[in-house]
Structures are given as structure tokens and as C-alpha cells.
Structure 1
Amino acid sequence: MSTKLWRAQRLSRLGSSIFAEVAEWKRNAVLRGLDVIDLSIGSPDLPPSEPIREALSQAALRGDAYGYPGSRGTAAFLAKASEWLAFRFGIAIDPAEELVSLMGSQDGLGHLALALCDPGDIVLLPDPGYPVYAAALALAGVVPYLMPLRAENDYLPDFASVPNDVWQRAKFMLLNYPGNPVSAVADLAFFELAVETAKRHGVLIVHDLAYSEMAFDGCRPPSILQVDGAIDTAVEFHSLSKSFNMAGCRIGFLAGNREAVAAMRELKANIDYGVFLPVQEAGIVALDMDIAGTGPKVGPVYERRRDVLTEALREQGWEVERPKATMFLWAKLPRMQWQLTEPWDSRRISREMLERAGVAVIPGDAFGAEGEGFVRIALVEDEARLREAATRIGAFIRGEY
């Protein structure tokens, strides 16, 4: 009997397994009795507001809520998403042709290359970038071209440095502002340059705007679709996960260029039956409350957490940048006051910090080669726990564990 591997080779091309690795570190730390402060995964620790939960509960009790919802999204949800885009960004999006609902933006990010590309095509990705960007290309047999994001360029890609032959083969380029893991923001002038560049080379722009409502110090992240003519060459992902604390509900949408939206809709029609109807109804309530100004805003919560943690870390001797948006700190590695036999890098610091101090973060190299030298810290605990985390980290930096 011949031996066959019941595991696809493509899985080995999905990239970093750091989230599973960190989960194992956490499990071992808990088994040893450590109280772990988990600042690794960007999962909101707060629930949706009560009216959203009530809408979900009431809809789930209806007997007619359990049929196939349809992969496109209900007309009511798409209409409300269109209304919210007009309210928030002043853009007009046709809900019938320029929108499709998603099981969270990661659903769309994971499948878009399958809908738009053929094996051997090129897609331009940010480095560092959220892991699903590269994983989606591996599944689709698409070749990534990495655009470095560096502090000296405000973590914006340099389009002029991309070779012409890459532009000629590229199907789309992926942008993410406000960013994850790099908590950078971009203005309309940057998006205008991106749209002009994309049109010149016949490339679609895919903008991941999952963190649009997590901005601080008066910052209001724009939509790329605000740029004149952008809808001819751009689509944009939106998510209710972070903006309305609905991460477990799995709901978001893709808006923009109707050809690309239609391709995503066609793919999804063959692989799923859409978002659970009660979740869509809860999403309508969330968007409607935001339009009416009656719902709580997540931005101030994370702004206070950012201020608390950055100040507490600075008191402990770790100078970290204060981001203008997102739920993450992108922190350059601290200057350690003790040494191991091996050099300190982002993965070793992250592991030792968890094993010794009980604070979990994600090493920057998990997001690409340009992430080495950094860690990502999620603001997903209350202010008291964040202060405690900073105290533990300070002791770890000084070698007191």
C-alpha cells in the first residue's frame, strides 16, 4: 500500500504560523501558572452596544431567519452600507452593482486573488503586511511583489521604485491605511498618487480600510474612493468587526469598481451562501446608529488605551511611537539591559517576554522581513491591565525575571 500525504503542499506556502506558535507559548505559560496579559491578537475585548445585540437576538428568534441568505447580501444591508459610505466619506456607491457583503473583510481578502487573478500573475503587497495578504496569493498561485514600508518614508510604498515589468504583469496592488501591523495613516494626496499610478499601469487598487473608525487626535482616515475617478480602478474592504465590536459576527463588505465586485460576487456564489440574516440585521442597526450619532464610538476608547500604554512604557524606559490610528502599537524593540547567549530579535524578545513576564505580543517578522526589529502590541485589555503589562515589561527589560 502506497503512502499518500493527506495535506496539500500549498499549505506550506501560506507563510508565517506565528499566531499558532504564540498560542502555544501562551498555553504553556498558563499551564505553568502564569497570569497572561494577552496583547497579541487584535480581537476587541468589548461587546457590541446593546441595541445591536438586541437586534441580533430578536432576529435569531424568528422562524424565517434560517434559510440561505444569499451570497450577495440582503438588499437592506447593502442599502444601509451604501448610506453609511455616503455619510462617512461622502461617496456614492450603487448598492446593487458596487457592493457585496462578506463574512468579515478577511473573507474577501482571502478570496479576492482567486476571483481576479490567474496563476503566475503578480500582486503588489506591503511589507510588513497582514498575513492573509500573502496567504491568499499562495492559495491562488499568484506571485507577490513586496513593497517595503519604512519609517523614513512614513510607512508608505514608493511606487516609483517598482520596475516596469512588474507593473506590466501586476493585476492589483494592496494598500492598508490605517495599517496593520504598521499603525500608519495616509492622506488623500497619497491616494491620489496611488490612483494616478494604478490608472497609468492598468492595475486595480485593493484598499483594506478595516480600521477607519479607530483614529485619534482628530485624525479622520479617508476612503480611496473619495479620489475623483477612483472607482474606475479601486475597490475597498470595510469591516464591522473593529468599528462596532462585532468581530465574532463575521460581517463586512467590499465596495467600488463594479467589475471587481462582480468577480467577487461570482466566486462567492460558488463557495458560500452569505452572512447569517440576523447578523446582517444587526449590522444594519450598527450602521444606522452611527449615521444617527446614537451609537458609542470606538475611537476614544482606543485613544485612551494608547495614551495609557505608551506613557506607561515610556516610564519603564521603552520609548514607543504613539500611533494616529488602529488598535495596535508598532514598537521598535526595546534596549534590553541583559543578554542571552543568542542575540535579541523580535521573535526571541516576544517569546521571552511571554515566558518570563506573562505578556503576549506578536513579533514583527511574522508580518514580513521588514518587520524584523519591531513587535506589534494590541490594545485589547482595559487600562489597568495595560498599566500592569507595562510594569511587567519594564521588569523584563531590566532583567528582573
Structure 2
Amino acid sequence: VFFLMVVPLATSSIFSMLIMRFFRFARNKDLMSMIINGIVMLGGIAMGLYGSFMGSAMSDDGVMPTGSVTVGALEFVGRYFPGGFFGARAIAAPNVGEQILNLFLLILIAVGTTVIVFALAAKIYFPGVLGVGTTPSKRRALSDREKSRLRERGSARRELLLKEWRTLFRSPTYFLNLILPSLLVPIIMIVSGGISLSQMEKEEGGFSLQDIIGSALGSSEFLNQSGWIILMSVLCFAFFIAAMNGIASTAVSREGNAYYILKLLPLRASDIVLSKLAIGQFVSLVTIAAFLFMIMAILPLPLSVWLPCLIIFILASLSVNAVGLYIDLRRPYLEWTNEQMAAKSNINYLIAMGISFLLAGVGVGLTYLIRYFTIPSYTGWIVIYCGYMLLTAVGIFGILFRSAPERVRRLGEA
């Protein structure tokens, strides 16, 4: 089994070294790095979804239907990854002598491939590493229009907002670690749910589960009996999606050693907090819109369902973003040497995520506490959940803005 992995690993290593070797010739290395990492991430997600789809296509005893597998699969693997072919032959050969011969050939191929990789590494890998470490630098003459625009005095609040926007979207590290996960995780869950829903329809003999669920959600009797379960699930899922957004919980830490600029800006602390909070909330709103749009494309939700869901999602994102920014103001991670440390070594993101799950748990506990004394109607549950979310958001925002002046003034102090 160990030798089976050597040839694919060596082949992928050579491919990676070739990409790194030509990486230094790119004009915009940040953009190229973002594109390559994005392609790799999307490819991994696609492979995971394909694996789940193939798993759902298996029969109950775990065997793939015969028509789903190509007859020449072993020959295909052997053509591009010879180790796989000889490894399979070493197991499935009819006699011991042939098994030993194929095992010897497998070991020989693995050792030879390893030698080739080490030989190429000295000539390809190290120049590629140096190319990745360089940053692009170009000088461009500004036009008269650009010079006049730069001389214009703009709003400090607007400039801080634009600076946050450019930092997040122009940095591959921040884009891939803070923005992309918050956008992709809900979409992946919806796509996986859609695949499972289609498989369930096939198993049920062609019944449309969308129509069944849609008619149930449109029934006032069903909503009065089971609407609290729907709203409680939406509450938990809203906090989960909001917790995936780490923009606000790293907003102050991303300043690094330039944190003192925040103290010099002609802005109130509340304006700085709003500017830091706005970008994270904007990404959250885009995620919410994409998530609800995909849900409504799969399931026909009535107004009485999707409107409370929208309110809960928005209030949850506001609460979690405010919690993350408050934590980052209290304990900013300013001593970092590269953007990877600011995005990945900052545990404020995890603390905000834990508080988000705690708020969801409080909502669930409140639900069962109310059901212990009384059973409200669906409208009553909407008022309860929206009221809980509104009180949570108002309380967190009050704490954030009350402590903002002192927190901004003490930035950088031990």
C-alpha cells in the first residue's frame, strides 16, 4: 500500500514544481496565486461532491452497479500511473511467482520515480520557491486625471472603507481564508442537499419531494404544529453560516504594525468600528442572499417562511460580526510577519465561532423552556425568535460601541 502512493505523489510533485518554476515570470503574482489556489480549492470541493454522488449511487450492499464502472479502468490507471497497475496485479495474480514479480516491478518504479523527483528538485524546485517569494513591482506614469483625483480630499470614513475592501480582495491570503470559505460553505451544503434530495426522489419512485415539502410549508396547521422546529433549525444554521465569516474577527489584527494609523485618523471610534464592520457584514449579506436564493430554487417557500428566515439570518450575522470585532478589539493579534499568520494564527476567529455556537445553544434552550410552559402558535414563535435575535444584536452592539473609544485608544498597549 505504501508503494502505491509513491508514483501519484511524485507525479503531482513534479507538476507542482513546474508551476512554481514558471510562477516567477507572472506579472501579477498575487492574482496568479489567488487563481491557482482557488482552482485547487474548487477542484477539491468538486471531487468531494463527486465522491458523495458516487457513494449515493451504490447499492445497499456497498457495490457499485456494473454499468457505472468502465471496463478498462485498470488499464486507464496503469497507463498514467503504472504503480497502480502492478500493485493490483501483485494482489490479483493467479500464482505466487507472478505476484512477486509484479511487486518487484512496483517497488522498482517507486524507487525510480523518487530518484527522478529528487534529481529535478535541485534544478526546478528551489528557483520556483524564490520566484514565489518575490513580489511584483512596477512603476507607472499617472495621467493628469489620476493626479487630480488623488489630490482631491475625500471622506476619511470612505477611504478607510475602501482600504479595507482593497486589502481583503487584493490579498490572496485574506481572500482565500476569510472571504471564499464564507461564500462556499453554504453553497456546498445546498448542492449536497440537492443531490441527496434527487436521490431520495429516485428511491421513492418519482414522487416530487419539492411539491410535498412545499405543500406542507404552505399549510397553517403544519406550521402551527411543527413551525418551531423549522425556526429553531434556521436559527442554528444562521449562526453556523455567520460563524464561517472571519472578516470582522480579524479586522483589527490585519492592521499589524500599522495599527497606530487608526489612532491618527480624524475619525471617531464609532466610525472606525462601523467601517471595520461594514465589509464583514456585506460579505455576510451576499452569502445570505445566495443561500436563500438557492433554497428557494429547490423548495417553493411561502412568504410566511422565508421572511422570518431572512430576518433571523441578518440579525445572526450582525450579532456574530459584532462579537468578532469586539473580541479583536480587546485582544488584537498585531505581532505578525506575514498575512498567513494574521489570518490563520489568530484564534479570535475561533473564539467568535464558539460564542456564535453558544448563542445558538441559548436559543435552543429558550425554545424548550418556553415549550415546557406553553405551546405558542407559529406567529408566536416568529415573534419569540425575532425578538431573541433583536435583543441579542442590540445588546452586543451596545457593548461594542460603549467600549470602542477605550479599546481604540489602548491599541498596541500591553
Give the alignment's TM-score, normalised by structure 1: 0.20
Higher strand content, 1 or 2: 1
Structure number with bigger Rg: 2
